Amino acid sequence: MISITPLLILYTSVLALLIYCLLNLRTLFLNRRSSHSPLPPGPKPWPIIGNLPHLGAIPHHSLAEMAQTYGPLLHLRLGLVHVVVASSADVAAQFLKTHDAKFSNRPPNSGAKHIAYNYQDLVFAPYGPKWRKLRKICSVHLFSAKALDDFRHVRQEEVGVLVNGLAGAGKRAVHLGQLLNICATNALGRVMLGKRVFSYGTSAGTGDAKADEFKDMVVELMTLAGVFNIGDFIPALEFLDLQGVAKKMKKLHARFDSFLNKILEEHSSSGNADLLSTLLSLKDVEDSEGGRLTDTEIKALLLNLFTAGTDTSSSTVEWAIAEVLRHPKVLAQARKELDSVIGPGRLVTELDLPRLPYLEAIVKETFRLHPSTPLSLPRMASESCEINGYSIPEGSTLLVNVWAIARDPKAWADPLEFRPERFLPGGERPNADVRGNDFEVIPFGAGRRICAGLSLGLRMVQLLTATLVHAFDWTLADGQEAGKINMDEAYGLTLQRAVPLMVHPSPRLSPPAYNA
C-alpha cells in the first residue's frame, strides 16, 4: 500500500510547479499589456510564494523598512496576487481620494469567509447594494449625530461605573486594558441590546471570567485576521490550510456564533427598545437596494460592532495612558487643563470635551503613533489605473501603511517623539483632522470604506482618556519606573500592546465625584 503522505507531497510539488509557470506567464502578459508604465518597485519575489517571507513578524514594520529602500509606492507579489502598498500621505491620497471609486471593494480572504459569515458583514461585504444597506443602518441608527447625542448618558454612566470600580481597587494592581474593554463593550451593549454585556467581577477593579474570555476571543480574531494566509494568495493551495489558519478561524467563528445566538435568544423576550430591536424589525422591510435584512446579516453586523467597535477604543486609551505616564510634563499639562475646566468635584462629561484642546491633542498624538489598525484593511482594484507613473493592475490588492505614514520624517518633525503640542496653535499641524481628510494621520482610514464608527470611537477615546487622567494618579505595578514602560507592539490586525499595562489607581478628586 502506498502511503498518502508521499502522494500528497508529490501532488503539492507538481501543483506548485504548475502555479509557478502560470504565474510567470501571467506576469509576462500583464507586463506586455502595460509596458508603457511599469509596476512599482519592490523586492525580488521568491518562486511561487512571492514576497510572503519578506513580511516578517510584524508586517507594518517590515513594509515601512521596505518603503525606505523602494519608495512610498511599493509593489509586492504575494503568491498569485499583485499587492501595492502606500506608505506616504501623498500616495495614500491618490488611492483613497483620487481613485477611491476603483478601490472600494475587498479582495477575497479567509477571515471574511470563515469568521465574518462569508462576507455578510459591513466590513467585508462587497461594495454594492448590500454594503450600502448595512452602512445606512449604522449611520442612521447608531453613528449619526442625533444617535450619539441620544446615548451620551449611557457612555458617561458606563465610564462612571469604571471610575467607581477603579476608586475601590485599593492597593491591587489592575489590568487597565481589560477594564477599558469591559467599559467600551457595556457602553455599546446598552445601546445595541439595552443591557450590559459583562460585569466587573466580584472584586473592585477586576473583570469577570466571561469578559476575559471575550477579550481573548477578540484578540485571537485580530491576530488571525492579521495573518497573511498562503491560501488567500495561492487559491489552489487553500484546501491544504498549510498554516492551520482556516481551522482556527472556523473554531473561533463557532464560539462567536454561539455568543451571538445567545444574545438573539435572550433578546427575543426582553422587550427592550434598542438597536437590535430595530434591526429585527427591519427583517420585514424590503430595502430598495439591499433587500430584506437577514438573521445572518444581523449577527455579522453585531460581530463587527462587538469586535472592531470595542477593542480598538480600549486599546487606544491604554496606549494613551501609557504615553502620558512616560511623559510627566504632558501629564502635568493635561491635569492643569482638566483641573481648570472641570475642577475637583465632578467627572468629565462629553460636553466638556470641546473645551479641552490639550487633551484632544494627546488623543490625536496617540492615534498618530499608535493607530488602532496600523495596516489598513485590504482593498482591491476594480480596474487598472496609474499612480506616480506606475501601473496598478486590475485585481491588485491595496494596503495602506497607516503606521508608516504617521511616522514619515518627511511629514512630521521628530516623528518618533510623543509630542501633543504639534497639534496645537503654533505647532506643525494645528488643524490636522483624524477623520480622513488629512492623509498624514488617518487612523480610521479614508474614502468610501472609512471606519463607520469613527465618531463614536473618537468620543469614547476622548472621554475615557480625559476621565482617567483627571480622576486618578497612577503608579505602575511592581515598582516599575514610568520611563521604562514596555511599548512593544503585539502582532495582529489591530495594534495591541505586547505587555498589558498593569497599574495602581489612586483617586485625586473629592470623594463625591466617584459616586456620580
pLDDT in tens, 180-192: 999 999 999 999 9
Residue list for the binding site? 451
Question: What's the mean pLDDT in 94-119?
Answer: 96
Confidence band for 103, pLDDT divided at 50, 70 and 90: very high
pLDDT in tens, 329-368: 999 999 999 999 999 999 999 999 999 999 999 999 999 9
pLDDT value at position 35? 46
Can you give the C-alpha Rg of the chain in angstroms?
Answer: 24
Least confident of 49-63, 100-114, 254-268: 254-268
Q: What DSSP string describes 385-420?
A: EEETTEEE-TT-EEEEBHHHHTT-TTTSSSTTS--G
Class of domain 129-515: mainly alpha
State if pTM tops 0.85. yes
pLDDT value at position 452? 93
Query: Cell numbers of 387, please?
Result: 499612480
pLDDT at 236 over 70: yes
Task: Kindly report the average pLDDT of the chain as a whole number.
Answer: 90
Give the three-class secondary structure for 331. Answer: helix
**Per-residue H/E/C for 295-313:** HHHHHHHHHHHHHHCCHHH
Strand order of the β-sheet with 174-175 is: 174-175, 502-507, 472-476
Residue list for the binding site for heme? 451
pLDDT value at position 515? 81
Amino acid identity, position 481: E
pLDDT in tens, 457-487: 999 999 999 999 999 999 999 888 988 899 9
pLDDT value at position 161? 95
Residue 93 near residue 405 (C-beta atoms within 8 A)? no
pLDDT in tens, 275-331: 899 888 888 877 766 678 999 999 999 999 998 889 899 999 999 999 999 999 999
Residue 84 near residue 397 (C-beta atoms within 8 A)? yes
- Ordered by start, the domain boundaries in the chain are 129-515
Residue 420 near residue 330 (C-beta atoms within 8 A)? yes
